[in-house]
Amino acid sequence: MKLVCDRIAITEAISIVQRAVASRSTIPALECILIKAEDGKVVLVGNDLDIGIECIIGSEIISEGKVAVNANLFGNAIRKMSGDTVTIEVSAKGIGDTDTANENNVVRIKCGNSDIKLNGVSASDFPEIHVFETKFDIILTQSELKDLIKHTIFAVGTSETKLILTGCLLEASGNNVNMVAIDGFRLAYKKIVTENDAVSGYLGDVAIVIPSKTLKEINSIIGESDDKIIIKCSNKNVRFEFDNVIFTSRLLEGDYIDYEKIIPSEFKTSIISDVRPLIEAVDRASIIITSEINKSPVIVKIEGPTANICCETSAGKVDEIVPVDMKGDDIEIGFNNKYLLEALKACTTEKINVEFVGPANPCLITPFEGDSFKYIVLPVRLRADR
């Protein structure tokens, strides 16, 4: 195999596929990037058996072939070279070997004045990425998918005992697309409206649960552009196709929680507020929460036209007053500062509604107008002697 390519292009491709490379594995090939020069194109591949990423780069192929090479060594070698053009050539001898029948593959990398040789791994040892027949496609722009992910991923579950909650639910119906995350203490719901129907190849509503690892890696690769990303789905797998990248992942199987039943519909107290003052007040109240063990809640006390946000720990006490438009009963309720702050920061409108059932019930945060997001945060029980 021999190919010539742009150093910056292959550097960017390596950084993408490395996200699917196992950092440590008992299988050496899983710590490698597969380089394939065949069918007139060069593809770099990473596969840790949970996710697989393929990235196509423009290259001049002098001779076809394929080889796997340690991802860290290969990536560092390319990144530290200073020339504009990289030549990659593979021979069938290992470094220091004289026996041409040796099956080790030597990857020779030349760029500028540099000439580096790395022992590779036979391409036959590299696991193939699962190819599946798609049942339907969900078509979004990259900015739309990024918007869905960043406004829900913070609330995804981490407990392996509730595996289905370690992913986000993606629903599509017509041109409405929702993403939902629940971790048992909070719920995050984000809705977008696409220009055209988002689902193709299937008549009806669709829903899949995508692992959080997959979504975090996708979010780090895609941009804020209006370029399309096609999400190809089967019952067990998903494939994201965008730009020069194909990203494959398993789906989480099982029944997701009926989240609509969790969202309260009747309230005793509601406020309308600018979101920024609430964020700043909770953020300042959090500065004295210095320990994750036995940490004190942020207390929200609503009386008439003000919300008093306060916190008291061994480090000190903070009191904040935020003006609000209030309806209903006065209420005093406590929250985990991190959960409340993340929900408020995820709000995408200047004004929000915050509605309460009671001091022992979750609150609901929604936009002042519309239904583009819903955030639920469970309260923390306050001490009886307050």
Is residue 386, in this structure, part of any structural domain at all?
no
Same domain for 186 and 275, yes or no, is no
Strands of the sheet containing 59-63, edge to edge, are 59-63, 2-6, 85-91, 106-111, 114-119
Residue 131 counted as domain residue: no
Domain endpoint, select from 125, 145, 168? 125
Does residue 182 form part of some domain? yes
Same domain, 320 and 268: yes
Asked if residue 385 belongs to a domain, the reply is no
Provide the pLDDT for residue 117: 94
Find the mean pLDDT for residues 292-304.
Answer: 86
The residue out of 196, 230, 259 marking a domain boundary is 259
> Do 329 and 269 fall within a single domain?
yes
Cα 41 off chain centre by: 29
Shared-domain flag, residues 283 and 247 = no
Judgement on whether residues 239 and 273 belong to the same structural domain of the protein: no
**Is there a domain that residue 130 lies in?**
no
**Pairing between strand 114-119 and 186-193?**
unpaired
**In this structure, which amino acid lies at residue 107?**
V
Q: Kindly tell me the burial class for residue 141, based on how many C-beta atoms sit within 10 Å of its own C-beta (0-12, 13-18, 19 or more).
A: buried
One domain, residues 214 and 270:
no
Q: Are residues 306 and 346 in the same domain?
A: yes
Compute the average pLDDT of residues 249-278: 96
| Whole-angstrom distance, CA of residue 167 vs CA of residue 229 | 20
Q: Is the pLDDT of residue 207 over 50?
A: yes
Residue showing tokens 């609150």: 363
Read off φ and ψ for residue 88, nearest 5 degrees.
-120, 125
Do 115 and 179 belong together in one domain?
A: no
Where are the strands (E) in 71-196, listed by range? 85-91, 106-111, 114-119, 136-141, 167-173, 176-182, 186-193
The residue count for the chain = 386
**Least confident segment among 80-84, 100-104, 293-297, 369-373:** 100-104
Instruction: Give, in degrees to the nearest 5, the angle at Cα 131 between 127 and 179.
Output: 110
- Tokens, residue 314: 């061994």
Q: Are strands 298-303 and 306-313 parallel, antiparallel or unpaired?
A: antiparallel
Which CATH number is 93's domain given?
Answer: 3.10.150.10
Domain count for the chain, please give it: 3
Specify whether 14 is located in the same domain as 83: yes
Q: Rounded to whole angstroms, how far apart are CA atoms 326 and 338? A: 24
Chain segment 91-135, per-residue pLDDT in tens? 765 555 544 434 468 999 999 999 999 999 999 999 999 999 999
Cα separation, 291 vs 10, in Å, equals 44
- At residue 385, the pLDDT reads 45
CB neighbours of 156 closer than 8 A, spacing ≥ 6? 165, 166, 167, 168, 181, 182, 183, 212
Q: In what order do the strands lie in the sheet with 325-328?
A: 206-211, 167-173, 176-182, 186-193, 373-377, 363-367, 351-356, 269-274, 325-328
Identify whether 325 is part of a domain.
yes
Least confident of 198-202, 259-263, 334-338, 341-345: 198-202
Lowest mean pLDDT among 23-32, 36-45, 296-305: 23-32
Task: Say if residue 53's pLDDT is above 50.
Answer: yes
Q: Model-level pTM?
A: 0.91
Are 66 and 180 part of one and the same domain?
Answer: no
DSSP reduced 3-state for 4: strand
Q: Which pLDDT does position 65 carry in this prediction?
A: 93
Q: Does some domain include residue 384? A: no
Predicted confidence band of residue 230 (pLDDT cuts 50, 70, 90): very high
Residues 108 and 140 in one domain: no
Q: Is residue 382 part of a domain?
A: no
**For all residues of the chain together, what is the average pLDDT?**
93
Amino acid sitting at position 238: V
Q: Which of 98, 125, 152 marks a domain boundary? A: 125
d(CA 174, CA 347): 24
271 and 327 part of one domain: yes
pLDDT one-digit tens code per residue, 301-328: 999 899 999 999 888 999 999 999 999 9
pLDDT value of position 93: 56
Q: Quick one: which of 296, 385, 283, 278 has its CA closest to 336?
A: 296
Rounded to whole angstroms, how far apart are CA atoms 140 and 177? Answer: 9
Q: In whole angstroms, what is the distance from residue 309 CA to residue 333 CA?
A: 10
Six-digit token string for 227? 């370029």
Residue 191 belongs to what domain range? Answer: 136-259
The strand order across the sheet containing 316-323 reads 316-323, 306-313, 298-303, 331-335
Tell me what pLDDT residue 144 has. 97
The rounded distance, in Å, linking the Cα atoms of 275 and 315 is: 27
